[in-house]
Amino acid sequence: MTAQEARLCGLLLREHFGEVVEKIGTHLLRSGAQNLRTIVNESGTPIDLVKKSLCVLMKHGACRFSIGRKGPGSPVEYQASCERILGILRYPRYIYTAKTLYSDTGELIIEELLQRGHMTMSSIVKMVADRLTHNMEEGRSIEYNEVVSTFSKLVETHFLQRCPPVSEVVTGPPTPESFSDCYLVPSVSLAGRGKRRRSGEDVVLDQGTTKKAKTDLQTHGDEGIYWQVNFERFHLHFRDQTIISAVASKLDQTSSEIVRTMLRMSEVTTTPSASCTQALSANEVFRSLPANYSISRPILDQYLTLLVDDPMEFVGKTGDSGGGMYVVNLHKALTNLARATLESVVQEKFGSRSARIFRLLLRKRHLEQKQVEDFAMIPAKEAKDMLYTLMSENLVLLQELPKTPDHAPSRTFYLYTVNQLATARMLLQHCYKAVANLIDRRLFQTKESKRLLEKSQRIEAIMASLQASGAEPEQLTEVEEMISAPEKQQLESLRHHINKLDSAENQVDETIFLLKSYVASTARITR
Amino acid sequence: MAGRGRGRGRSNLTFSIEAMGFAKGEGLPPSILQPTPLFPPMEHKPVPLATGEEAEYMQALKQEFRGAMKTLPFYIRPAAPKTDVERYSDKYHSGEPADNVIDWKPDWSRLPKELRIRVRKPVENRVSLPVDRMDRSSANHNLSKKEDVLLKLEALEKGEKAGSSEDEDEDETKKKQKEEEGTEGEEEYEEEELEEVTCMQMYHITQG
C-alpha cells in the first residue's frame, strides 16, 4: 500500500461512494485494522456516518471485519482492501468482456452486480429482466428463465461465485474457493416476466401497485445466498486475451487461433497460479481446432515449431509423444510482455537510441560504459548523456565491482544494469500516479464549469418537458437560444476533454493490469 | 586545513575522471541548485490515445457507471447541518438524508451487530417518520403523551389518504419543496420526472 495507491483509492471512493466513504476508506487504508470506536475518534466523523460507510464498504467487498487482536472478547476490527478498491478502475472492462461473451443479458448481470456489490440471484434476475424489458420495444418482455439461463452459464464458467459465509470467528482472509458450494446454482422458483416501468401509468392502478408490493415480499428460496463477481476468473481471461493478441500481432492470425485453442483446452485443467498450462499433444490440438480453421496436419506442425522457436517463448515443447507435447508458457509470456512494455515506455519517453541502450542492458545484463558505447553504436558523449538521463530516472542502476579490497575508485568496475522486476514495480506506481492525476484533472475541469453544466442541464430539462407536452417550434428555438454560441462551444470542448480523460484512464488500466500480473506471477514463482 | 590543498588538490575527486568519460580539461556540467520544474518540457510527445469502437464503448460504460453510482443509496451524502432556527414545519418535512438512517437494507446477519442502524422505511410511511424521530431524539423536543398520540393518529390518517402509490407521494413532497424553495425545486421536480428523456451525455458529464 503505497502513497500513490492510497491517493488513487481515495479518489475512486470519492467518485463512486461520496466524500464520507472516501474519508473513512482512506483512514482505514492508512492505519490498518481498527475497531469502530478508534475509527470514530481518529477520523472525527459522527458514528452514524462511520457505520453507514462501513456497511457500504463491506457490501462492496472493499472492507472486511474480523475478531479483534486481543482475543474473542475484544471489539471487532475492520480492514480495508486496497486491491479491491483499485479494481473499480477495471469495471468497464469487466462489463465489456461480459458483453462480448454473453451479450446484453450477461452485460447487465455483471453491471448490476458491480454496482451493488453482492446480491441474491432472484433480485439480480428480476432487476435485469426489468431493465431489458424497459429497453425493448412496446409489447415485448423478457422471461425470467432466459436471464436465469445466462446467470447459470456465468456461474458454470466461474465468472460469478457465491459469497463465502460469514462467521464471527474468522482467522484469515476468507477465500471463496475454499467454500465447497461456491459455484452451485440454487434451485429457485422464479416464474414471470420483466415488468416495464411506465412513468405515468403507475399512479392510476391501485391493484397494480398492491400486487407489486406482494411480489417484493415473496421469497424465492434463495435467501442468504449472495453472489459476487469472480475477479480472478476475469483476470485469467484478460491474461489469455493479451497473450493471444500478442501472438496475433507478432506472427499471424492462424498462430493466434492455435494458441487460443490450446488455452481454451487447458482452462479447466490448469490452476490459476500455474506458470505454464498442462501439456497438450499436437493430435489433441489438431482435433480441437475450430471448424472454420481447417489447416492440414503438417501445416499445424510447422506452426507449432514456429511458435516454439519464437524468441518470445509463448509456446514450449515438453515432449515428443502424441506428435509432440506442447505447453503455453504463461509466466514467460507475461515476463516478455512486461519487458516489451518497459522498452516501449523508454522509447516513447527518451527516444529510440535510449531505448536501444535499455534493450541492450536488458539483454546483456551488466555492461561497462565503454561496452555500452560499442554495442549500441552510439558516440561516446551521447551515450554517456543518455545513460545518465536513464539513471536519474532510476531505470538504469550502477553496480560497483571492486578489484581491490579498499574499493579505490580508479580500480573498480562500474557496471550498468537494469533490474526488470524493480523497474516494473516502479512503472506500476507511476501508472497509479498517472490515473490519480487524470481523475484529479477531470474533477477540476468539471468543478470549473459547474455553473455552465447546471445551466445546460436545466435547459435540457425544459426542452424535454416542452417537447413532451407538445410545444411549437418557436418556443423550442427560444429555449435553445438561451445558451449562447460560445457557451455551446465551451460545453463541447469540456465534453471532449472529459471523454479523452476517461479513455486515457481505461488505457492506463490495461498497462496496470499487465505489470501487476507480471509482478504477481514472479512473486508466485520465487516463493 | 582549508588552504593547504590550494593549487595541489584542486581536482582531487573520489572518482577517476577518465572512467566517467570526461576528457581532461572539460568542465563538469553545472550543478543544479533548485528542484526540477513541476511541468518539465517534454521532448517527445506522447502517443495518441487508442480510438475505435471498443475504446468508445468502454468510455461510455465508465461514465454511465459513475452516473448510476451517484443515484444509488450507496452514495452517502452527509446531512446538511441545520443552521436555522427550529421551525414548526420541520416535523412535516422529513427532508433528504438523515445521518442515523440508512437508505438500503443490508443483510444484517453478514455484518457485525454493532453496525446496525435503522433502515429508512419505504415511501408510503414517510409522512410518519418525523413523528418517530421526534419520539426518539434527544431532550430538545418535549412532547406530552397526548400530543404524541394525536400526532400519530394524524400521520396514519394522512398515510392512508395519500394512497399506496409511490409516485403520488413523491410528487407531493416534491411539490411541497418546490413551493418552499422556488424555481430550484421546480427544475429538480422536472428533472426527476424526466430523467430518462434527458440527453444522456450531459447527464453523464454532470453526474461524473
> Is B140's pLDDT higher than 90?
no
Q: What is the pLDDT of residues A144-194, one digit of tens each?
A: 888 888 988 998 888 888 888 776 444 444 555 556 666 777 766 666 666
* pLDDT-based confidence at residue A288 (cuts at 50, 70, 90): confident
A17-32 tens-digit pLDDT = 999 999 999 999 999 8
Nearest to A505 by CA among A90, A120, A216: A90
- Which residues from chain A sit within 8 angstroms of residue B166, using beta carbons? 202, 209
**Residue A300 pLDDT greater than 60, yes or no:** yes
Q: Which of A4-8, A168-172, A199-203, A262-266 has the lowest mean pLDDT?
A: A199-203
Q: Which residue of B has its CA nearest to A350?
A: B44
Higher pLDDT, B4 or B204: B204
* pLDDT tens-digit series, residues B39-64: 888 888 888 888 889 999 999 999 99
Apex CA A175: angle with CA A174 and CA A179, to 5°? Answer: 100
Contact between A203 and B57 using a beta-carbon 8 Å cutoff: no
C-alpha cell at A493: 470542448
Q: Is the pLDDT of residue B124 over 50?
A: no
B contact residues 118-157, partner A, Cβ 8 Å cutoff: none
Report whether pLDDT(A526) > 70.
Answer: yes
Name the β-bridge partners of B101.
B118
**Residue A477 and residue B206 in contact, taking contact as beta carbons nearer than 8 Å:** no
Q: Of A98, A129, A328, A101, nearest to A231 (Cα)? A: A98
What pLDDT digit, counting tens, does each position of A311-340 carry? 888 999 998 888 889 999 999 999 999 999
- The complex's ipTM? 0.86
Span A436-472, pLDDT tens digits: 999 999 999 999 999 888 988 888 888 888 888 877 7
Q: Percentage of residues in chain A with pLDDT exceeding 90?
A: 47
User: Which pairing describes strands A412-417 and A397-402: parallel, antiparallel, or unpaired?
Assistant: antiparallel
Alpha-carbon separation of residue A186 from A130, A159, A220, A221, A465 (angstroms): 21, 16, 10, 8, 46
Long-range contacts of A312-321 (CB under 8 A, 24+ apart): A312/A246, A312/A250, A312/A336, A314/A243, A314/A246, A314/A247, A314/A259, A315/A259, A315/A262, A316/A276, A318/A279, A319/A279, A321/A281
Which residue of chain A has the CA closest to B79? Answer: A49
How does residue B141 score in pLDDT terms, banded at 50, 70 and 90?
very low
B112 close contact with A: CB closer than 8 A: yes
Residue type, B92: Y
Q: Is the pLDDT of residue B177 over 70?
A: no
Which residues have CB under 8 Å from A213's CB, separation 6+?
B164
Q: Do residue A166 and residue B109 have CB atoms under 8 angstroms apart? A: yes
Name the residue of chain B whose CA is nearest to A368's CA: B19
pLDDT in tens, A368-390: 999 999 999 999 999 999 999 99
The residue type found at A247 is V
* Among A289-298, A346-355, A491-500, B132-141, the least confident range: B132-141
Q: Do B202 and A457 touch (CB under 8 A)?
A: yes
* Partners of residue A276 on adjacent β-strands: A329
Reported as a pLDDT band with limits 50, 70 and 90, residue A214 is very low
Task: Give the pLDDT confidence score for residue A181 in this predicted structure.
Answer: 65
